[in-house]
Amino acid sequence: MAGVGQTLIKVSDALRRKTAAAGAIQTMMLDGLLPMFQSIRTRLRAALASLRAPASVHRVAAAPLPTEYGQFRIYVYENHTETHVALVRGEVGNGEAVLTRVHSTCLTGDVFHSTRCDCGEQLEAALRRIAAAGRGVVVYLDQEGRGIGLANKIRAYTLQDEGYDTVEANVRLGFEPDLRDYGIGVQILRDLGVRSIRLLSNNPRKLASVTKHGLPVVEMVPLEIDASEISRRYLRTKKEKLGHRLSVV
């Protein structure tokens, strides 16, 4: 029995030494791989940042545009995937403190006058106020449905009818609550000679995005629309979950 015990001790010692050696090798391998993993992570972060960065846009057309609100000039901008528009009232002049609405496309609200949201009414109110001021810009950005696209926006409508609010519906579809970025809008405004703006908006995130991209905002001008029975929940969600500055709900 003593011989068996000695044998077991030797086997145990050998296993411990083997395990220790394997652990040391594993540690050395991990130490060697760590810089590679860190390099890959750095490159991935850079790639993701470049994807989020706004693509450059180029002015491709311009013409006078008479509207029911008054005379504007329309400018069209394109990149490889999107088309954006700017409406300019009067002369930008020195480019300082230009009354500006940066508006994201809302086909259902802007064109079909859906009462689910206040988008169309905000656009019309902005055009009236800029026309009355005699000087200003509306930038109309191609980022439908808070950036998720038209088809997904309509899918979100179905979820909203099942009881989800606009934020919950976007998240349930696998998106962030708001994917919009206003860097392209800043590019367009700079191309038009705008150097600082009075921003027609209730959205602090829009203010933060515009200033992040280097355009000074000298004033945030409220643009509130009265709540209807249908839009009340939508506006409350904007206020409570997205931080919009609203007094109508």
According to DSSP, the residues that pair with 84 across neighbouring strands are 77
Q: Which of 142, 146, 180, 181 is catalytic?
A: 180
Crossing angle (nearest 10°) for helices 183-191 and 204-212: 60
Q: Is 180 a catalytic residue?
A: yes
Give the span between the Cα atoms of 249 and 232, in whole angstroms.
7
The whole-number pLDDT of residue 26 equals 60
Q: pLDDT at residue 11 above 70?
A: no
The whole-number pLDDT of residue 4 equals 53
Q: Which of 178, 181, 190, 233 is catalytic?
A: 178
Give the span between the Cα atoms of 148 and 155, in whole angstroms.
10
Kind plus residue range of the DSSP H or E element containing 150: helix 150-161
Give the span between the Cα atoms of 157 and 163, in whole angstroms.
10
The whole-number pLDDT of residue 12 equals 58
For residue 77, what are the contacts with CB-CB under 8 A and spacing of at least 6? 57, 58, 59, 60, 83, 84, 85, 86, 184, 187, 188, 191
The whole-number pLDDT of residue 180 equals 93
Coil, strand or helix at 100: strand
Domain range 58-143+180-242, its CATH number among 3.40.50.10990, 3.40.640.10, 3.10.20.340, 3.30.465.10: 3.40.50.10990
* Tens of pLDDT, residues 154-206: 999 999 999 999 999 999 999 999 999 999 999 999 999 999 999 999 999 99
Which of residues 17 and 173 earns the better pLDDT score? 173
Question: What torsion do the CA atoms of 16, 18, 22, 25 make, to the nearest 10 degrees?
Answer: 110
Indicate the burial class of 200 (C-beta count within 10 angstroms; 0-12, 13-18, 19 or more): buried
Q: Is 178 a catalytic residue?
A: yes
* Tens of pLDDT, residues 110-156: 999 999 999 999 999 999 999 999 999 999 999 999 999 999 999 99
- Gyration radius from the chain CA atoms: 28
Q: In whole numbers, what is the pLDDT of the chain averaged over residues?
A: 86
